[in-house]
Amino acid sequence: MTHRWKWLLVGALLLTPARAFAQIDFTGEWAPVYHEDRPERLPGPELGDYTGLPINEAARLAADSWDADRISVVTQYQCRPHSSDYGMRGLGNLRVHRELNPATQDLVAFRTYMPAWGSERTIWMDGRPHPHEYAEHTFQGFSTGVWEGNTLVITTTHQKINYFRRNGVPSSDKRTSTEYWTRHGEFLTVVTVVEDPVYLTEPLVRSQNWYLDPGQALPTFYCEYVPEVPGPTPDAVPHHLPGANPYLTEFADWYGLPLDGARGGAETMYPEYRLKMGPPHSTPPDRCQRFCVCSGFECLVNPRRGRQ
Amino acid sequence: MDLTGYWVSVISEDWRWRMVTPLKGDVASLPLNAAAIAQAEAWDPAKDTAAGLQCKAYGAAGIMRLPARLHITWQDDNTLKLDVDSGTQSRLFHFGGTIPANTRPSWQGYSIANWERPPRGVETPNTIPIFARRTGTRGRSLEVTTTRLRAGYLRKNGVPYSENAMLSEYFDYRKHPNGDEWFTVTSIVRDPTYLESPLILSSDFKKEADASSWRPTPCEAR
């Protein structure tokens, strides 16, 4: 190499902008892993199952009023998407791609697509600020990301009211969620931390996993508003009045749990709760009889009776 | 990444299977084969206790899912020690070296640790960053591989793993917006005897200020 070329090379190096890139690549198609809480996340949660949620009394009251007929009778609920924080828990197949600035090749955003409700999301990586608190709220909210070492840290605000669990446990539009995306080989772990001053007494921290599955052909999602069940009146919203929901103890009874544990709260999430938790709400069955073995989308209601 | 200190498991997931001993036959969520389901159906905690096997749910492949506190310290320059108060167990993560010959299977097995290397191509020293402008990222996660396990339980209600099981774990530390310190361990259990596919779990731990809540307890079969 001549001296002239050497100096050109040094000059080019000096002119190259120093970028704080941490190029862990999340792009690709990911398949969800349901090895935790599968009955809740696929078939759906039982009524009155608030376990593991640091909820306050207001959230419990709202959840107790939930009637699942609401989804069938009230058309506004029928195609209600999961918001970005709950969508990552409900999980689903996931595509991630990068948007680059064609002039600079800088990373502008990650964009994600999940087939459930056709959820599309943008995670801005260009340093833009979050909008004013009065700006529009959406189900996916407004997300920005920064790198911390090998982890992508995403902050999301401006989400609409949604669920912490889709049996009526509400989340408010005041919440902020922070996600930590970390890739280990072909596995992706996303930790979601949600702070909600309206319904939580401490942050809700959950972690979920995907594996790289580039062979997927993700479908589109259609949801059509259809009156599935005739309501008592056109504007009826199925509900239970306070103290009048007869189904709230079923979950504890089916699985041999103490009722106060089933009803959630921060204190029930720490090891010392085992020392003070009461006995099962009723005499438990001698073996599991409901949603005990799961495969694919199906859970066996009673393994001895076969599939339902 | 500094994992030393006291940590508490926060049970926001799988509560019904972790905070209480699940009902017999409740194997939901796990990718088990027929042999594993049959083993779980035969679970008898009284028999385990009588046989001195009450620690079967406290082995390395199951213990990180139990409600517990951890105490993590450096035993020496090359060994990270993870004590668990539930069941009074200790795990040793050995940096460098290989498994000593004739290592007998045990509840906690033999763990080899390293700081996870970044994906191939990301961190290549001495490359010229003109045409690929990445500065790369440092491998930061703690990666632990555990083998030589004594057969134990993935859940307290007798869901089995075998001596052939291999446990891979990735520990990731972070600080939350409110200042709390946490780590998540992503665990991958491969067991050709009882699992149809790798079992992938992630468990979350919050740092505690001191040892005031540390209460070692013996193993219990039920």
Is residue A213 within 8 Å of residue A94, measured between CB atoms?
A: no
pLDDT at position A295, please?
65
Task: Give ∠ CA B161-B166-B172 in degrees, rounded to 5.
Answer: 110
Pull the structure tokens for residue B100. 């000593």
Amino acid code (one letter) for A14 = L
For an interface test with B, give the residue of A13, A191, A213, A259 to mutate (most B CBs within 10 A): A191
Taking CA–CA distances from B86, the nearest residue in chain A reads A271
Is the pLDDT score of B132 beyond 80?
A: no
pLDDT digit string (tens) for A60-94?
Answer: 999 999 998 888 888 888 889 999 999 988 778 99
Separation between Cα atoms, residue B115 and residue A182, nearest integer Å: 14
pLDDT digit string (tens) for A151-179?
Answer: 999 999 999 999 999 999 999 999 999 99
CA distance to partner chain B, nearest, from residue A210 (Å): 9
Is the pLDDT score of B217 beyond 70?
A: yes
DSSP state of B184: E
Contacts of B31 in chain A (CB under 8 A): 35
| Four-point Cα dihedral B172, B175, B176, B178, nearest 10 | 160
**Does A150 touch chain B if contact means CB atoms closer than 8 Å?**
yes
CB contact under 8 Å between A293 and B27, yes or no, is yes
pLDDT digit string (tens) for B66-109?
Answer: 999 999 999 999 999 999 999 999 999 999 889 999 999 999 99
CA distance to partner chain B, nearest, from residue A77 (Å): 26
CB contact under 8 Å between A287 and B23, yes or no, is yes
Amino acid code (one letter) for B134 = R
Calculate mean pLDDT across residues A228-257. Answer: 90
> Which of B140, B144, B141, B122 minimizes the C-alpha distance to B132?
B122
The band of B156, judged by pLDDT with boundaries at 50, 70 and 90, is very high
Contacts of A49 in chain B (CB under 8 A): 16
Contacts of A176 in chain B (CB under 8 A): 177
Separation between Cα atoms, residue A145 and residue A156, nearest integer Å: 9
Calculate mean pLDDT across residues A182-207. Answer: 96
Separation between Cα atoms, residue B142 and residue B140, nearest integer Å: 7
Separation between Cα atoms, residue A151 and residue A165, nearest integer Å: 26
Pull the structure tokens for residue B155. 């859940």
pLDDT at position B119, please?
57
Q: Alpha carbon of B4 to those of A180, B71, B216: distances in Å?
A: 21, 7, 18
**Does A180 touch chain B if contact means CB atoms closer than 8 Å?**
yes
Is residue A231 within 8 Å of residue A238, measured between CB atoms?
A: yes
CB contact under 8 Å between B170 and A189, yes or no, is yes
**Does A297 touch chain B if contact means CB atoms closer than 8 Å?**
no
ipTM associated with this complex: 0.93
Query: B168 Cβ partners below 8 Å, 6+ apart?
Result: B143, B144, B145, B146, B187, B188, B190
pLDDT at position A90, please?
79
Q: If DSSP codes are grouped into helix, strand and coil, which group holds residue B58?
A: helix
pLDDT at position A300, please?
65
CA distance to partner chain B, nearest, from residue A134 (Å): 22
Length of chain A (residues): 308
CB contact under 8 Å between B188 and A187, yes or no, is yes
Pull the structure tokens for residue A56. 């306050």
Amino acid code (one letter) for A141 = G
Partner-chain residue, chosen from B134, B143, B182, that has the shortest CB–CB distance to A205: B182
pLDDT digit string (tens) for B171-215?
Answer: 999 999 999 999 999 999 999 999 999 999 999 999 999 999 999
The band of A306, judged by pLDDT with boundaries at 50, 70 and 90, is very low
Strand partners, B30: none
> How many C-beta neighbours within 10 Å does residue A137 have?
18
Task: Give ∠ CA A253-A257-A260 in degrees, rounded to 5.
Answer: 105
Mean pLDDT, all residues of chain A? 88
| Four-point Cα dihedral A155, A156, A158, A160, nearest 10 | -150
Interface of A with B in 35-94 (CB under 8 A): 35-39, 49, 51-54
Strands A119-124 and B166-175: unpaired
Is the pLDDT score of B127 beyond 60?
A: no
Among the residues of chain A, which ranges form H helices? Answer: 3-15, 38-41, 57-64, 69-73, 75-78, 84-90, 250-255, 259-262, 273-276
Is the pLDDT score of A12 beyond 50?
A: no
Task: Give ∠ CA B29-B35-B37 in degrees, rounded to 5.
Answer: 35
Residue B105: exposure state from Cβ atoms within 10 A (0-12, 13-18, ≥19): middle
CB contact under 8 Å between B13 and A206, yes or no, is yes
Is residue B202 within 8 Å of residue B185, measured between CB atoms?
A: yes
CA distance to partner chain A, nearest, from residue B68 (Å): 6
CB contact under 8 Å between A209 and B116, yes or no, is no
Pull the structure tokens for residue A189. 């772990």
CA A233 from centre of chain: 33
Pull the structure tokens for residue A22. 């941490």
Contacts of B12 in chain A (CB under 8 A): 52-54, 204-206, 269
Pull the structure tokens for residue A215. 């062979």
Pull the structure tokens for residue A122. 């943008």
pLDDT at position A223, please?
87
**Does A301 touch chain B if contact means CB atoms closer than 8 Å?**
no
Query: B49 Cβ partners below 8 Å, 6+ apart?
Result: B221
**Does A288 touch chain B if contact means CB atoms closer than 8 Å?**
yes
Is the pLDDT score of A115 beyond 60?
A: yes
| Residue B116 vs residue A93, higher pLDDT | A93
Pull the structure tokens for residue A71. 């989804």
Strands (E), chain B: 5-9, 69-76, 79-84, 89-95, 110-115, 142-147, 152-155, 159-161, 166-175, 181-190, 199-208
pLDDT at position B140, please?
77
CB contact under 8 Å between B186 and A187, yes or no, is yes
Contacts of B202 in chain A (CB under 8 A): 36, 189, 191, 207-209
pLDDT at position B137, please?
52
